[in-house]
Amino acid sequence: MKYRPLGRTGVQVSPLCLGAMMFGPWGNQDKADSIRIIHAALDSGINIVDTADVYSGGESEEVVGEALRGRRDDVFLATKFFMPMGDDPNSAGGSRRWIIRAVENSLRRLGTDHLDLYQVHRPSADTDVEETLGALTDLVRQGKVRYIGSSSFAASQIVEAQWAAKENLYSRFVTEQPPYSILVRGIEEDVLPTVQRHRMGTLTYSPLAGGWLSGRWRKDAASSPTSSARPSARFDMSSPENQRKLEIVEELALLAEQSGLTLIDMAIAFVINHPGVTCAIVGPRTMEQLASYLPAASVSLTTDVLDRIDEIVAPGVTINPDDNSYGAHELSASARRR
């Protein structure tokens, strides 16, 4: 597996990142099997693992921690904070108070004394970015965190965070984790160019669009999500947007077949072939799923295939707005004009 630079950090990572959201009650409840999947991913050459405290209420981190015993130094380990971790209103968000608690909880569950990458899971509508960056900078200086990153930040929020870090001499976000797939191309318009300008690494999630590009959802056999973590609106087959996605999947499946590829190979390769993408996060629930993802790491798409994909889904377009991770706060009822 060929490795890539993670922005300007000097770190080299694999083009596929193992996402751990499916390890635990949200997906695979067999801990031993989940550990076998993690070991198989590492044995294949994947050297970066991404999880979050909220995944299965912390159980994902525990599974990852157990799997990495004896192999911790071989892995670039990333996790995230921000989402609610209980009923306490202060057990969430980007405040200094919560970050200091959250990192200790994650370190304990992961069985390690440091995180290679600590990411804020979402931007905060009610917390100054300086508050978040200041706390994260202290963790870097204490040696508990090596690098910090953001997830699902809009381009303007990325720029604001970079400016705040420079202005206050804080550690800066060196990575961004946005959604990206053939069906969800919104980041091509602004986020990816912004990340490239700031020389950040990009860990994109959901390259199969939540399973839509795995071949599981087809016009003659529309299925349903296997994880309770997936928003139901993304899989409401009565919506015009999802009906359009089913039509597009048929066109993409035909293109993949004509190109001698599986739909999965083409979908993941599309993501990691973008010059602004460092790696695609793949989140297998089973060993079979992992095996189906791995070949994409060595697939290069021809210009003809890429041009045809652009004809099917135009650059910068997200087919179903429910697949978008942006605008949740900005478009809430309290923030709108009316």
Tokens of 108: 């304990």
The catalytic residue positions are 55
Q: Tokens 């600590």, residue?
A: 118
Of 136, 52, 142, residue with least CA distance to 94: 136
How far is the C-alpha of 46 from the C-alpha of 268, rounded, in Å?
Answer: 15
How far is the C-alpha of 206 from the C-alpha of 186, rounded, in Å?
Answer: 13
Measure the N-to-C terminal CA separation of the chain; round to a whole number of Å: 52
Tokens of 235: 């899989």
Q: Report the interhelical angle of 129-142 vs 155-168 (nearest 10°).
A: 60
How far is the C-alpha of 60 from the C-alpha of 274, rounded, in Å?
Answer: 29
